[in-house]
Structure 1
């Protein structure tokens, strides 16, 4: 045993004398360093260290292992003689359970002995307050203190340093660790290859205000610009070369990027400026009060006027660059989520909103991607077979993603893609183990590009090694799907990780997603347990989900009505379809109150616009007979023409109306519609007049009025008839008498007009 090994073991035994009970077997002491139950006390130092490269990404017998990274002095004092040491576990982790336990273990957990041979550690020297430096550790394979067994080793770096008082502790002042697998490619039987399909998420929370600007718009804009999370994901994907990669894009994010790039916000037909000026909140309905107004982010570079609100908003050309890169990268095998990454369980309960979300997503992908890509739906924390059927559709269109926790033990053994019975055909389900993308152990950033890659390699290495002992699979190769979390950020140091090059290992074979889907295993729905990950993100509280569902459905109804009276404006309908879908986003699990507030405000604004088209008329109508006419007036206070009709309804079936076809009323104008009426009795009857769309859908407040007929009309016509008869009779009598008078004069032979007496 070397002096270094003896000293290290002596120190370890001193620690274990406290950690282990008296009489513990020697074997427990000899291999205690392989467990994660023993902790070192964390030193209160302000030095930090990370790991940015691991070369090669997996241990290879005969090749040296190289780690590099950065060191920062975040302390309030100077540190001198700073040195970085490599540590590695002696025994490998052999199961997924052990790997998960190691990844979740405390940052101070014991890993292994430091390699202290001269030339195997790196001396950084003095680090002043705020200074940073880099380290590189190169250790030949033969010098690594490991058992050499196949599996996954924990490797790390630890810092020692001297403080201002010239004291130097043997406890690590800072540490970082990750995983490195060992699968011997030179053995007689090569390792089993794991077919790996990789999904690449381009997702993020999107929430749009009633004026079209975005909640947390500044953060969204920064994520699209150089150095931002979404920008990093696209740039990292571009380094993949020929590695098969399936983009998973949220259409709502594409719309947001286009809006931010162009500085154009709001619906195509913005609402009229509310009374009181642009600073007043929009008119809302009484049943859906809007929340407090949001303040738009302050512009810092290029700005323009928002056509909807007149406010200054930020314009980011970088957002347009990001969008163009996504469009250029998007291929026929890439996928999209539902619009806004919706709460799929909630959509299943709201068919109208689900249809709106589908229309919004399809309109966006056609406009921006020029395609109708397949869609992917991520199952919530719990899902049963019926809900699962609602997540999917035809086998070539929609893919549902589940966790192994959603399946029975039998279902987990069937493979990564299952074909379950569905109402519209077989429902394909991708079983994605979240452990593959769970990242590395603390204290380093567990989701950095390097940590995620090393965890992926570790998980697939164990899958490969386990497949050799599993004879039940026959000739079917092991397969897996890599699906990172929706908010995955590869970190600022992603270029150093060399993510995709590190995936070139003897046991890993990246394949297109379609390769896995082609091998879907048909099975029954009873493999779905209804359970799921207990800490699943995107699970919306039941009460919040119900409120969002009702408000979003009301928004869709009002938006469709407005679009119809404005001539079926497809742009307007699409804009409000998107607003309704965003209200039911799975991100509502984090901001349900805000989404409900914005959804209600948007719905209320629609109610205000519909309320500017009104119907007026008399509250009491008297007809002089059983048939008659009266007028009602349509007023349009919108800034665009509307096409509407009038429909009437009475409490009595003896009353019938005909108002004619819909009419077009210009902006700010009025139009009177004549109503033909037929009444079978002369009672007073209550009736209502409604505004309707071209398709007969009612909207707005009804005009309530009373209507009756009067007998005075019959009397008047009777009197007129009698008078007419009397007049005709008198006229005839007069004519007859005159005719007779004229006949007597002619028989006397005297001149016309002379009397007989005069003639004599």
Structure 2
């Protein structure tokens, strides 16, 4: 609804009669004068009833609502009248101009017969008065099938003049026959894409940051309304598999990180139970999760349901491509159908991507096509027609990529906006419904001999008004010139080949992307996970799939508007990954001693994982002039500053010790850096610094031992000699 203030100069001649309360109803064909006195805004026109929505020959249309005095002064002689034209709206641009007029712009047309009525002699500030007008359709002079503008004007007297003090604009579709076939109008196929997209909030261990998802799934919650609003409607469901996975996890009972926020909208990152100061508490949403999941399975696995799995966790596709994380784009696309199928217990197709905002650049489309995406949902502003068209083109277009053609599902911005709207108040809802009716009628009237497919999609995390959406879809289902259709049953449209302008990715969209420094930290996580997966022997998993999905959750487009929650989830994921990596490590030894300048010292590598690992060991002397190292399995004489040691496969919960040869040139302590290597030679885990002390204890011991032997043998020899001398003396004495 819009309210406009202007003076109606034509009323000047009738002002005295109006003030006196004499009606001028039935005045028809009075044109708007060239000039009009503008008066301050004072009256708001609310339209709460338009019945029926579509005007038909021989029938009547009743309009009703309230007039509200928004000024600080009383308004006298308040009356209402309806103005329309006999010529239909010719284009959507004209519909926009007429529906949202500039201040003071008057609808050029005629007064509808019987529409004028005096409401009250005086309307005090803040007060309202009911009004109604019944229009005979045949008297309106509508020229045929189409959309006709309607202006409801509120008239009154203020201290500075008398005239039109408020207005509401709307439109009346006119149907001169009972069916589209009788009209000669090919119905417009309206494909409504209906997203079920959540906000990731689980850490790699499945602990939830908060319990807000429970509120979204419960009665009146966003996801509850989204599921119910399109139930039994021929829409195409676009489902985030991560949401289904999270709800399934909740339904079996779950834990929530203690001490995290419970308020606000959906959002979240998670902590980590190991090494985290915060504990966990039992979640409260298991029951609502089970109920929602049961309903989702019923709706999404119905025989006539069209369901497509979006990329896992709704990633910020363009931002990932720009940061060089195209492998994660591919991972999110390939994981989606399997995750969705597992939760829904039925086959779900993938191959459709929906970049945030409906905008993408060429490089992202190339990556999506390589990943197996066959169709991408784009806003019409991202891929407009190459030239201005007098009609709405078909919503399908073909884009070329190096991997082959890619279908663009081009959504209509206005229909999408109306579908996602949450009009406040009865009047706003009624005018929004009438605008939806007008737009769909005008699309059919633009090219009545050609059936086209137009696509509409609400916001990915829209908080819809269920009754309002139900009214829109009910109207579309009943309209003879609109056919609700799913994507898969659409037949190719004759106008699908309309030339399109080059793909557009405006700067405003780039500014909304996830920050590059944030994604740099996410890229580090991906590199760490690659290293961890590389050391696992054979086909061991050890939670790498869960870790990979947790990293994908840190790349969700949800963090565009909730960056703090994204950081929390990323940090929790990093903590958990570091803990897993840290379970394969070099046992800490602060000091080892060589008993001579040549010798060996022990290094122990521990595997605390439940799976075998394959790692190497690299040792580096930090003071090569004082100490060199050698390969334990090689020639010890070929000592050098750095050596790499091949280790055998280390079994689960096992350790391996190797003796490393070292050669010291002088006595003293030399730091030696030790770290593990992945099979492809990358550094794994933390670097240890081991102090190796070289001494001459061995040489000194040999000297001491030799001296002792000399003394021992000398003493023994001396004693033997003395004995011999004594014996000789005894023999001489005996003689």
Residue 587 (structure 2) pairs with residue 616 (structure 1): yes
In structure 2, distance between residues paired with 1:622 and 1:402:
72
Q: Structure 1 residue 662 and structure 2 residue 645: aligned?
A: no
Deviation at 1:409, TM superposition (A): 0.9
Deviation of 1:701 (Å): 0.7
Q: Aligned pair 1:418/2:397, yes or no?
A: yes
Cα distance in 2, alignment partners of residues 203 and 235 from structure 1 = 14
Aligned to 2:261: 295
**Which string of whole-angstrom CA distances, capped at 9 and with x for unpartnered residues, describes residues 98-139 of structure 1?**
22334444799766888694899999xx99999x99998754
Task: Tell whether the 8 Å contact from 2:330 to 2:367 is kept in structure 1 after alignment.
Answer: no
SS in 2 for 1:421: strand
Contact 1:643 1:663 in 2 (8 A): yes
Aligned mate of 1:386, from 363, 366, 372:
363
- Higher mean C-alpha displacement, 313-322 vs 421-430: 313-322
Mapping of residues 739-758 of structure 1, within 5 Å:
none
CA distance in 2, matches of 1:109, 1:466: 26
Work out which of the residue numbers 342, 348, 357 in structure 2 matches 1:367.
Answer: 342
Counterpart Cα distance in 1 of 2:219 and 2:331? 33
Does residue 125 of structure 2 align to residue 153 of structure 1?
no
Question: What secondary structure is seen at the aligned counterpart in 2 of 1:346?
Answer: helix
8 Å contact from structure 1 (residues 633, 673) kept in 2: yes
Bigger drift between 389-398 and 80-89 goes to 80-89
Once the two structures are superposed, residues 438-492 of structure 1 have per-residue CA deviations (whole angstroms, 9 ceiling, x without a partner) of 3399986799876665444433433333325xxxxxx863332222333444425
Deviates more, 1:325-334 or 1:402-411: 402-411
Task: State the partner residue of 2:238.
Answer: 248
Alignment of 1:225 onto 2:218: yes
**Paired residues of 1:447 and 1:490 also in contact (CA < 8 A):** no
How do residues 641-680 of structure 1 correspond to structure 2 at under 5 angstroms? 641=610, 643-650=612-619, 654=638, 655=643, 657-665=645-653, 671-675=654-658
Does residue 382 of structure 2 align to residue 401 of structure 1?
no
Query: What TM-score does the superposition give when structure 1 sets the normalisation length?
Result: 0.65
Is the aligned partner of 1:690 residue 2:665? no
Indicate which of 333, 337, 342 corresponds to 2:310.
337
Confirm or deny that 1:438 pairs with 2:417.
Answer: yes
C-alpha distance in structure 2 between counterparts of 1:487 and 1:81, whole Å: 48
Counterpart in 2 of 1:494? Answer: 468
Q: Is the 8 A contact 1:55 1:65 kept in 2?
A: yes
Contact 1:222/1:228, CA 8 A, preserved across alignment = yes
Cα offset for 1:632?
0.9
> Which string of whole-angstrom CA distances, capped at 9 and with x for unpartnered residues, describes residues 224-255 of structure 1?
33333433332221253xxx321112223334
Work out which of the residue numbers 137, 142, 151 in structure 1 matches 2:138: 142
Question: In structure 2, the residue corresponding to 1:664 is in which secondary structure?
Answer: coil
SS in 1 for 2:93: helix
How far apart in 2 are the matches of 1:634 and 1:367? 37
Trace 1:259-278 onto structure 2 (pairs within 5 A).
259=249, 261-265=251-255
Instruction: Summarize the alignment of residues 430-579 of structure 1 with structure 2, pairs less than 5 Å apart.
Output: 430-439=409-418, 454-467=434-447, 477-491=451-465, 493-494=467-468, 497=471, 499-516=473-490, 518=492, 527=500, 529-532=502-505, 539-541=510-512, 544-559=514-529, 572-579=543-550
Name 1:60's counterpart in structure 2. 56
Paired with 1:263 and 1:74, the residues of 2 have a C-alpha distance of 53
> Does the 8 Å contact 1:393/1:425 carry over to 2?
no
1:602 is matched with which residue? 573
Contact 2:193–2:237 (Cα < 8 Å) also in 1: yes
Please say if residues 416 and 480 of structure 1, whose CA atoms lie closer than 8 Å, have aligned partners that are also in contact.
yes
Instruction: Decide whether the 8 Å contact of 1:68 with 1:134 is kept in 2.
Output: yes
**Contact residue 145 and residue 175 of structure 2 kept, 8 A:** yes
Instruction: Report the secondary structure of 2:447's partner residue.
Output: helix
The secondary structure found in structure 2 opposite 1:675 is strand
* 1:315 partnered with 2:300: no
Q: 1:459 to 1:366 in 2, by over 3 A?
A: same
Indicate the SS of the match to 1:238.
coil
For residues 72-91 of structure 1, what are the structure 2 equivalents within 5 Å? Answer: 91=87
- Please tell me whether the aligned partners of residues 236 and 494 of structure 1 are also in contact (alpha carbons under 8 angstroms): no
Residues 656 and 624 (structure 1), Cα distance of their counterparts in 2 relative to 1, 3 Å cut: farther
Task: Give 3-state SS (helix, strand or coil) of 2:192's partner.
Answer: strand
Residue segments in structure 1 that go unaligned for 5+ positions in a row: 1-6, 16-27, 163-168, 267-277, 280-292, 299-305, 469-474, 666-670, 721-760
The secondary structure found in structure 1 opposite 2:518 is: helix
Determine whether 1:11 maps to 2:6.
Answer: no
Give the CA deviation at 1:212. Answer: 5.8
In 1, distance between residues paired with 2:236 and 2:363?
Answer: 27
Structure 2: unaligned runs, 5 residues or longer: 1-6, 16-28, 265-271, 621-629, 632-637, 706-735
Q: 2:157 aligned with 1:182, yes or no?
A: no
CA shift for structure 1 position 199: 1.2
2:365, 2:562 → 1: CA distance?
25
| 2:687 maps to which of 675, 693, 702 | 702
What per-residue deviation string (whole Å, max 9, x for no partner) do you get for residues 39-91 of structure 1?
8744377xx9564x755443322333355789999999999999998765665
The TM-score normalised by the length of structure 2 is 0.67
Shift of 1:699: 3.0
Distance in 2, matches of 1:183 and 1:245, equals: 26
Q: Is 1:328 aligned to residue 298 of structure 2?
A: yes
Number of the residue aligned with 1:274: none
Please state how far the C-alpha of 1:344 moved relative to its aligned partner.
1.3
Aligned equivalents of 1:202 and 1:491: distance in 2?
15
Q: Pick one of 231, 237, 260 that aligns with 2:230.
A: 237
Question: How far apart are the structure 2 equivalents of 1:566 and 1:228?
Answer: 43
The corresponding residue for 1:30 is 31
In the alignment of these two chains, the number of paired residues is 635
Aligned partner of 1:196 among 172, 175, 190: 190
Cα distance in structure 2, aligned partners of 1:38 and 1:321: 61
Contact 1:160–1:172 (8 Å) recurs in 2:
yes
The residue aligned with 1:166 is: none
Contact 2:603 2:658 (8 Å CA) reproduced: yes
CA distance in structure 2 between the partners assigned to 1:424 and 1:352 by the alignment: 16
The 1:211/1:644 distance shift into structure 2, 3 A limit, reads: closer
Equivalent residue number for residue 43 of structure 1: 42
Distance 1:74 1:120, change over 3 A: closer
Query: Aligned to 1:438, what secondary structure does the other structure show?
Result: helix
Q: CA deviation at 1:513?
A: 1.1
* 1:94 aligned counterpart, secondary structure: coil
Q: CA RMSD in A?
A: 5.8
- Equivalents in 2 of 1:229, 1:249: separation in Å? 14
**What is the aligned partner in structure 2 of residue 733 from structure 1?**
none
User: Is the alpha carbon distance of 1:582 and 1:376 closer, same or farther for their aligned partners in structure 2, counting shifts above 3 Å?
Assistant: same
Matches of 1:32 and 1:203, distance apart in 2: 53
Matched with 2:732 is: none
**Matched residue SS, 2:617:** strand
* Distance in 2, Cα, partners of 1:203 & 1:133: 44
CA distance in 2: counterparts of 1:39 and 1:534, whole angstroms:
40
> Separation in 1 of the partners of 2:657 and 2:571?
37
Residues 1:153 and 1:201: Cα distance change in structure 2 (over 3 Å): farther
Give yes or no for contact 2:222–2:463 (8 Å, CA) kept in 1.
Answer: yes
Q: CA deviation at 1:418?
A: 2.5
Within-5 A mapping of 1:726-737: none
* Contact persistence 1:403–1:532 (CA under 8 A): no
Distance in 2 of aligned mates of 1:564 and 1:202: 35
